[in-house]
């Protein structure tokens, strides 16, 4: 390995409390410098440098889908084919690429220029179809734009193909600066009143800050809706170990593309939220675990952190308060399960993203065995508003027990798919209207990201988009990723594509999820291809019913519930395929 690579890896390793955390960054780095793959020799060198056995390094490398063992084409074209992409016609793009490149998915062109792959949700649901080329996104792709992309790549140039996104806000908290030019720049943020909340927080005691957050009742926006203030209260105290704050920016739930709006267009809002939260919980080191595909957003965050440090909003004594905080941006490497908080912690420690048995919960034994708070980007980005304007102001938005603003991402069959910030409790119809209305006739909708039960049009009518109302209707608000399906949608095909995702992403630790997802995938394949029997439908339902509640982490439920709901609620469609 080249000397400067070794030096860089060493300096990365020195930033972490445990150098093993540098394993993923090192693999990313070597892969980038090595033409897109890490072979046996380099892997052994990295393993030795970091100080892990080769076997474990190999286990880590092969766990993450972004790491390659063999060289690929110079441009790796990765087409997202998950549900939102499927609804937006990603298959057309795949077919088009196969035709013009003369290769099938998984192959490389003879000139070594292009490798074509299909990948799982890239969190571009509002601007699908999307093609990721190496570490760049090309969104809102059509066959014509795809041709332009290929022509430019053939000339050796990564083109600029802007894809305007739709967005809107009625709350002006989380997406307040979404349309402001250069809002990622600290000067723009400061001019808009940025970092005032942090200054205010530093004038309060940490306990008072935590109490204000608790009083606001802000519920975690990562999916589970657990009150952030209550979670902070579970932190183990007096352990003699440091406390860590981890921002969950994995954004892997299909249908979800909200956190990237904050990170890409208003990164200081997140940095400020993290600084306040870290102050409240007594953490001096914080991490942003961001999905590996968002490399360019990670760069934006790094720049924001650098600026914040230069302005004294991060560093050894923030604004002279004596409170110290540093934030490390840590890239994942392609693994949905790493969004689950304990898997995320394992991954951050340089391991396979295998969820841990709970208890103990991260607030007691988390990162490096220390008390750790994991919060979603949107949760943390809500904190500056709560501190600056007070819990009462926050609670004026939303409905009882479901307070505050929420970014909803709408994709699928609507005219203006995008991200819209509305108070919790807003009727689904309002959101759909904001998104330009349904194209065709509403057949079904998934309101909380792929992992929640689907609703028929009838069930969805008048649904208030908040945690409790969704629960009452037999679904969940989850991440607020809304996928709208019209009458042209085949639910069995949606179910098959959905289970393929989970089978691909299962960490493989526990029997019901590892083999259950695989088995349900095989059964649904059989059904959709017309080779199934009515007994297969019953078996899918039986398995889903038993998988729920039997797995090590919630991922088992995350597929068993939605598949069960699709089959139960649209059974006639499945039966038509097997009769």
Partner 1 sequence: MHLTIDGRVVDAVAGQTVLDAARAAGIYIPALCYHPKTGKAGRCRACVVEVDGLRGLKESCALPVKDGMVVHTATPKVMETRRMVVDLLLAEGHHNCISCQANSSCELQDMVYHLGVERPSFLIESEPTPQDLSSPGIMREADKCIHCGRCVEACQNGVVNEVLAFAYRGSHARVVCDDDLPMGDSTCVQCGECVQVCPVGALVLRQPREQKIRPHETTATRITCPYCGVGCQIDLHTRDNRYVFAMAHENQWERQPNKAMLCIKGRFGLDFVDSPDRLRTPLVRRDGELVEASWDEALDLVAERLKAAKEQHGADSIGFFTSAKVSNEENYALGRFARAVIGTNNIDHCARL
Ligand X SMILES: Cc1cc2nc3c(=O)[nH]c(=O)nc-3n(C[C@H](O)[C@H](O)[C@H](O)COP(=O)(O)O)c2cc1C
Q: Which residues bind partner 1 (CB under 8 A)?
A: 40, 43-44, 53-59, 62-63, 335, 352, 357, 503-512, 514-519, 522, 539, 543, 546-547, 549-552
Q: Which stretch binds ligand X (CB under 6 A): 11-19, 198-206, 217-225, 567-575?
A: 217-225
DSSP 134: T
Pairing of strands 372-376, 398-399: unpaired
Query: Which of the choices ligand SF4, ligand X, partner 1, none does residue 425 contact, using the CB cut-off of 5 to 8 A by kind?
Result: none
Q: Binding pattern to ligand X, positions 330-349, x when CB under 6 A?
A: -------x-xxx--------
Query: Which of the choices partner 1, ligand SF4, ligand X, none does residue 11 contact, using the CB cut-off of 5 to 8 A by kind?
Result: none
Q: According to the binding rule CB under 6 A, does residue 552 interact with ligand SF4?
A: yes
d(CA 178, CA 168): 8
Query: Which of the choices ligand X, partner 1, ligand SF4, none does residue 264 contact, using the CB cut-off of 5 to 8 A by kind?
Result: none
Residue the block writes with tokens 């027990």: 401
Contacts of 247 (CB under 8 A, 6+ apart): 270, 274, 286, 287, 288, 289, 374, 375, 376, 377, 380
Q: According to the binding rule CB under 6 A, does residue 554 interact with ligand X?
A: yes
Q: According to the binding rule CB under 6 A, does residue 508 interact with ligand SF4?
A: yes
> From the CB of 209, what's the least distance to partner 1, in Å?
33
Q: Could you give the angle at the alpha carbon of 231 between the alpha carbons of 225 and 237, nearest 5°? A: 170
Query: Which of the choices partner 1, ligand SF4, ligand X, none does residue 339 contact, using the CB cut-off of 5 to 8 A by kind?
Result: ligand X
Beta bridge partner(s), residue 79: 118, 131
Buried/exposed 60-69: b ≥16 CB within 10 Å, e otherwise: bbebbbbbbe
Q: Which stretch binds ligand SF4 (CB under 6 A): 265-273, 310-318, 368-376, 509-517?
A: 509-517
Q: How far is CA 408 from CA 130, 159, 168, 222, in A?
A: 20, 30, 10, 12
Window 556-575: residues binding ligand X (CB under 6 A): 558
> From the CB of 452, what's the least distance to ligand SF4, in Å?
16
Which residue lies nearer to partner 1 by CB, 205 or 511? 511
> From the CB of 347, what's the least distance to ligand SF4, in Å?
12
Q: According to the binding rule CB under 6 A, does residue 253 interact with ligand X?
A: yes
Q: According to the binding rule CB under 6 A, does residue 510 interact with ligand SF4?
A: yes
Instruction: Determine the 3-state secondary structure of 481 from DSSP.
Output: strand
- As given in the structure block, the two tokens for residue 543 are 């398995």
d(CA 430, CA 265): 25
Q: Which stretch binds ligand SF4 (CB under 6 A): 12-20, 29-37, 50-58, 548-556?
A: 548-556
SS3 string, 289-314, reads: EECHHHHHHHHHHHHHHHHHHHCCCC
Beta bridge partner(s), residue 76: 115
Q: Out of 120, 251, 388, 421, which residue is the one contacting ligand X (CB under 6 A)? A: 251
Which residue lies nearer to partner 1 by CB, 377 or 558? 558
Which residue lies nearer to ligand SF4 by CB, 44 or 105? 44
Q: Out of 127, 375, 475, 489, which residue is the one contacting ligand X (CB under 6 A)? A: 375
Query: Which of the choices partner 1, ligand X, ligand SF4, none does residue 307 contact, using the CB cut-off of 5 to 8 A by kind?
Result: none
> From the CB of 461, what's the least distance to ligand SF4, in Å?
33
Query: Which of the choices ligand SF4, ligand X, partner 1, none does residue 252 contact, using the CB cut-off of 5 to 8 A by kind?
Result: ligand X
Beta bridge partner(s), residue 406: 422
Quote the longest CA-to-CA distance of the chain.
73
Residue the block writes with tokens 């790491």: 67
Q: According to the binding rule CB under 6 A, does residue 513 interact with ligand SF4?
A: yes
Pairing of strands 405-412, 136-138: unpaired
- As given in the structure block, the two tokens for residue 16 are 């972490």
C-alpha closest to that of 218 among 63, 380, 69, 374: 380
Pairing of strands 131-133, 136-138: antiparallel
Query: Which of the choices ligand X, ligand SF4, partner 1, none does residue 224 contact, using the CB cut-off of 5 to 8 A by kind?
Result: ligand X
C-alpha closest to that of 300 among 333, 329, 327, 276: 329
> From the CB of 359, what's the least distance to partner 1, in Å?
9
Is the CB of residue 315 less than 8 Å from the CB of residue 326? yes
Q: Binding pattern to ligand SF4, positions 460-499, x when CB under 6 A?
A: ----------------------------------------
Q: Count CB-CB contacts under 10 A for residue 247.
A: 31
Which residue lies nearer to ligand SF4 by CB, 65 or 411? 65
Buried/exposed 158-167: b ≥16 CB within 10 Å, e otherwise: eeebeeebbb
Q: Binding pattern to ligand SF4, positions 321-360, x when CB under 6 A?
A: ----------------x-----------------x-----
Q: In this structure, what are the phi and psi dihedrals at residue 348, rounded to the nearest 5 degrees?
A: -65, -25
Which residue lies nearer to ligand SF4 by CB, 432 or 540? 540
Q: Which stretch binds ligand X (CB under 6 A): 75-83, 300-308, 422-430, 551-559?
A: 551-559
Query: Which of the choices ligand X, ligand SF4, partner 1, none does residue 516 contact, using the CB cut-off of 5 to 8 A by kind?
Result: partner 1
Q: According to the binding rule CB under 6 A, does residue 421 interact with ligand X?
A: no
Query: Which of the choices ligand SF4, partner 1, ligand X, none does residue 518 contact, using the CB cut-off of 5 to 8 A by kind?
Result: partner 1
SS3 string, 146-186, reads: HHHHHHHHHCCCCCCCCCCCEEEECCCCCCCCCCCCCCCCH
Site for ligand X, rule CB under 6 A: 220-224, 226, 228, 248, 250-253, 337, 339-341, 374-376, 379, 553-555, 558
Site for ligand SF4, rule CB under 6 A: 337, 355, 506-510, 513-514, 551-553, 555-556
């Amino acid at each position: 390995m080249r000397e400067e690579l070794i030096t860089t890896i060493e300096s990365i390793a020195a930033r972490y409390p445990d150098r093993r955390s540098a394993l993923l960054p090192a693999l990313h780095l070597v892969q980038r410098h090595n033409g897109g793959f890490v072979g046996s020799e380099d892997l052994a060198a990295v393993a030795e440098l970091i100080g892990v056995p080769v076997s474990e390094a190999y286990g880590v490398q092969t766990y993450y889908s972004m790491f390659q063992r063999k060289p690929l084409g110079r441009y790796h074209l990765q087409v997202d084919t998950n549900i939102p992409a499927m609804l937006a016609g990603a298959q057309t793009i795949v077919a088009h690429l196969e035709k013009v490149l003369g290769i099938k998915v998984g192959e490389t062109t003879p000139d070594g220029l292009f490798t074509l792959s299909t990948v799982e949700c890239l969190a571009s649901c509002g601007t699908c179809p999307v093609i990721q080329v190496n570490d760049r996104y090309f969104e809102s792709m059509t066959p014509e734009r795809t041709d332009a992309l290929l022509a430019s790549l053939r000339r050796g140039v990564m083109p600029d193909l802007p894809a305007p996104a739709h967005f809107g806000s009625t709350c002006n908290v989380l997406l307040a600066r979404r349309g402001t030019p250069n809002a990622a720049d600290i000067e723009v943020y400061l001019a808009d009143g940025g970092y005032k909340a942090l200054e205010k927080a530093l004038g309060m005691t940490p306990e008072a800050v935590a109490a204000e957050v608790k009083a606001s009742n802000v519920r975690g926006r990562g999916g589970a809706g657990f009150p952030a203030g209550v979670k902070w209260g579970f932190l183990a105290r007096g352990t003699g170990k440091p406390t860590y704050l981890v921002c969950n920016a994995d954004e892997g739930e299909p249908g979800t593309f909200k956190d990237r709006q904050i990170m890409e267009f208003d990164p200081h809002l997140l940095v400020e939220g993290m600084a306040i939260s870290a102050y409240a919980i007594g953490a001096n080191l914080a991490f942003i675990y961001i999905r590996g595909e968002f490399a360019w957003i990670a760069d934006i965050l790094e720049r924001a952190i650098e600026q914040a440090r230069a302005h004294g909003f991060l560093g050894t004594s923030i604004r002279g308060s004596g409170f110290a905080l540093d934030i490390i941006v840590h890239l994942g490497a392609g693994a949905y399960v790493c969004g689950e908080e304990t898997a995320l912690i394992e991954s951050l420690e340089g391991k396979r993203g295998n969820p841990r048995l709970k208890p103990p919960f991260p607030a007691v034994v988390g990162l490096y065995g220390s008390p750790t708070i994991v919060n979603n980007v949107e949760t943390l980005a809500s904190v500056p508003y709560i501190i600056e304007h007070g819990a009462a102001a926050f609670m004026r938005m939303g409905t009882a027990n479901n307070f505050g603003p929420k970014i909803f991402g709408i994709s699928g069959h609507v005219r203006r798919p995008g991200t819209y910030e509305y108070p919790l409790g807003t009727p689904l119809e309002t959101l759909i209207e904001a998104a330009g209305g349904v194209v065709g006739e509403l057949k079904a909708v998934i309101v909380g990201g792929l992992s929640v039960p689907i609703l028929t049009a009838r069930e969805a009518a008048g649904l208030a988009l908040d945690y409790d109302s969704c629960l009452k209707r037999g679904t969940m608000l989850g991440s607020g990723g809304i996928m709208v399906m019209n009458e042209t949608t085949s639910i069995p095909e949606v179910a098959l594509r959905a289970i393929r995702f989970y089978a691909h992403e299962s960490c493989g630790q526990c029997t019901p999820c590892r083999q259950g997802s695989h088995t349900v995938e095989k059964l649904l394949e059989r059904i959709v291809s017309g080779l199934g029997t009515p007994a297969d439908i019953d078996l899918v339902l039986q398995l889903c019913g038993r998988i729920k509640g039997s797995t090590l982490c919630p991922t088992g439920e995350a597929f068993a519930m939605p598949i069960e709901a699709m089959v139960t609620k649209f059974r006639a469609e499945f039966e038509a395929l097997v009769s």
